[in-house]
Structure 1
Amino acid sequence: MSEGDAAGSADGIDGGADGAAGRPALWGRPVLSFVRRSGHLDARLQRAWDRYAGEYLLDINVREGSLAVRDDMVFDRDYVRSAWGNDNPLIVEIGTGQGENVVAAAAGHPDVNYLALEVYDPGVAHTMLLAGKQGLSNIRIAQVNAPELFKAARPGVAAEVWTFFPDPWPKMKHHKRRIVQPALAADIRRALVDGGVWRIATDIEDYALHVHEVMDGRDGFENAGRLTVSLPVEHVGKGNADLAAGLPHAEFRESERFGGRVLTNFERKGLEAGRVIHDFTYRAV
């Protein structure tokens, strides 16, 4: 599981056993970038949930236990003013993991609002715990399928969107589950203010190629990176990743490491394993 695995993609359908009319049993369901698991909370995290959910957790789900967003949800600046009590810029992190990054950012920038999107109960509870210990008032958490929320977004609601270390879904047949997809990119562009940015980071080379394929040259975005990197131009999966070095390569533009991202244990382990961190900055134009 990667650090930022917290949202689903509506681009495509799930397969499964044969259903009516020869269609797969799960025909029509969105392809998600996560697998919903039971989120058992230990006593410490349960206490954090009970204590802080009323303060930090947004009530925008269609029903309790669902990750779907209410049909009447309008994600706009009026909603931000209502939920945060001010008109400060909003930064949304898709896939907060344990919350270390978004909470550190909120603590360091009290004049900015932060929205943490996370689907897993332990991650949500841990983010609440970190924020509650510091008494932060500029952070909120939504336990929803992120693409659904961005479909409800109105123009200019967010100054930045962050997606750090999303689940790489390394098997070739699962690449469609990757969170960075054209439909989400279009919705994020609408949500961003002009000049706002979508920051992405991954430690998986094949995912870096995927990001470039989805985002480079996309209408409404410009690649603001200034570093030149070399990547294979063909995709590999979990079973043939060792072939990547021998594939044809091309040069791409990426960004220096984003200074606003704290070095989490997840990123540190990737570096210690010899993986290269790929940072991207796509500016809304």
Structure 2
Amino acid sequence: MGGESGVANAANSKADATGANDAADVAEAGLDDAAGALVRIGLTTSGEAAQHFPARPVLSFVRRSGRLDDRLQRAWDAYHDRYLLDVNKAPGSLSMRAGLRIDEEFVRGSWGNAHPLIVEIGTGQGENVVAAAQASPEANFLALEVYDPGVAHTMLLAGKRDLGNLRIAQVNAPEFFEATEDGLVGEVWTFFPDPWPKMRHHKRRIVQDELAAQIHRTLAAGGVWRIATDIEDYALHVHEVMDDRTDFENLGGVTVSLPLEHVGKGNADEAVSLPHAEFAESPRFEGRVLTNFEKKGITAGRVIHDFAYRAV
């Protein structure tokens, strides 16, 4: 609807100016206000307003206008036919094409073989997935990334190395896994996801029960979901989502101490005084290169939390 489109445009502008978290506030508030306005002016009842503005899935990202500099635009033009999968329902959409199945036939058609598939959720600048693909030519790698600059930079790095075992899908990760065949994926990697630090935004964190169930279904027997974060509160969130699941086994052999209550942006310094408990995490995954992003976290004094959960 026109009102919803206007709200989305406002959210994108806000994201460019002040960041994705603030844009999420704008979008959510805007949709609520628009629905309320229909009721106030007598065009609908509250029930009808809900039909006009139905509940939408909570996303772990806010779509921002991705402006490419000349170098990245050249990379996009040169490599998108080779690396970017045609899986979107429409140009510019982050949704999967209706009826598309990601199965062994799709893998053979896209990679030219049926090698084990490793999927990275949130590739960023592509440093890690490109290095992994270069180091492991016996595996197929798929980078899931929604932001244009990240997609273009991943193409640039892959193209420079003439990699044949890497592909990129610019889609919403949960939709990708919904469309994926049972047992197709060997491993899933989610390294340094957006922490969504505000308490009211914790629902937007990518690691959630719903996604865990989909990932478990698509993992081959014994497949692993690897997660890493440099945010202590996100580490607690991962434990809360994953440790009590009966379909995953925590492979951690490192003991860490974490607060038992969540903190958010503005009161994170209170975490040290909260009651703590011990949790099992994993040693640093050797297959993850030390990216510039991770280096910045270490330089800032943040502790890196690694997780490995095996499908059972």
Matched, 1:198 2:213: no
Distance 1:179 1:26, change over 3 A: farther
The alignment partner of 1:266 has SS state of helix
Matched, 1:90 2:117: yes
**In structure 2, how many angstroms separate the alpha carbons of the residues matched to 1:102 and 1:94?**
10
**In structure 1, how many angstroms separate the alpha carbons of the residues matched to 2:223 and 2:188?**
8
**In structure 1, how many angstroms separate the alpha carbons of the residues matched to 2:134 and 2:273?**
45
**In structure 2, how many angstroms separate the alpha carbons of the residues matched to 1:98 and 1:27?**
34
CA offset digits 1:252-273 (Å, max 9, x no partner) = 1000000000001100010011
Q: 1:27: how far off? A: 4.0
Alignment partner, residue 213 of structure 1: 240
Q: How many residues align?
A: 274
**In structure 2, how many angstroms separate the alpha carbons of the residues matched to 1:42 and 1:210?**
36
Alignment partner, residue 32 of structure 2: 17
**In structure 2, how many angstroms separate the alpha carbons of the residues matched to 1:170 and 1:115?**
28
**In structure 2, how many angstroms separate the alpha carbons of the residues matched to 1:160 and 1:195?**
9
**In structure 2, how many angstroms separate the alpha carbons of the residues matched to 1:138 and 1:234?**
42
**In structure 2, how many angstroms separate the alpha carbons of the residues matched to 1:121 and 1:220?**
34
Alignment partner, residue 166 of structure 2: 139
Matched, 1:251 2:278: yes
Matches within 5 A, 1:98-113: 98-113=125-140
Question: Contact 1:170–1:237 at 8 Å: present in 2 too?
Answer: yes
Q: 1:51: how far off? A: 0.7
Structure 1 unaligned residues grouped into runs of 5+: 2-12
The alignment partner of 1:17 has SS state of helix
Matches within 5 A, 1:1-285: 14=28, 16-18=31-33, 19=35, 21-22=45-46, 27-285=54-312
The alignment partner of 1:262 has SS state of coil
Question: Contact 1:14–1:29 at 8 Å: present in 2 too?
Answer: no
Instruction: Answer 1 or 2: which has greater helix percent.
Output: 2
TM-score (ref. length: structure 1)? 0.93
**In structure 1, how many angstroms separate the alpha carbons of the residues matched to 2:256 and 2:68?**
41
Q: AA paired with 1:178?
A: R
TM-score (ref. length: structure 2)? 0.85
**In structure 2, how many angstroms separate the alpha carbons of the residues matched to 1:275 and 1:224?**
23
Q: AA paired with 2:304?
A: I
CA offset digits 1:19-74 (Å, max 9, x no partner) = 15446785411111111111111111111111100000000000000000011111
Q: AA paired with 1:113?
A: N
Q: 1:14: how far off? A: 4.8
CA offset digits 1:177-215 (Å, max 9, x no partner) = 000000000000011001010000000000000000000
Question: Contact 1:116–1:141 at 8 Å: present in 2 too?
Answer: yes
Question: Contact 1:14–1:30 at 8 Å: present in 2 too?
Answer: no
Which range moved further: 16-25 or 37-46? 16-25
Rg bigger for which structure? 2
Q: 1:220: how far off? A: 1.1
Structure 2 unaligned residues grouped into runs of 5+: 1-14, 16-26, 39-44
The alignment partner of 2:207 has SS state of coil
Alignment partner, residue 11 of structure 2: none
Which range moved further: 188-197 or 18-27? 18-27
Q: Report % sequence identity.
A: 70
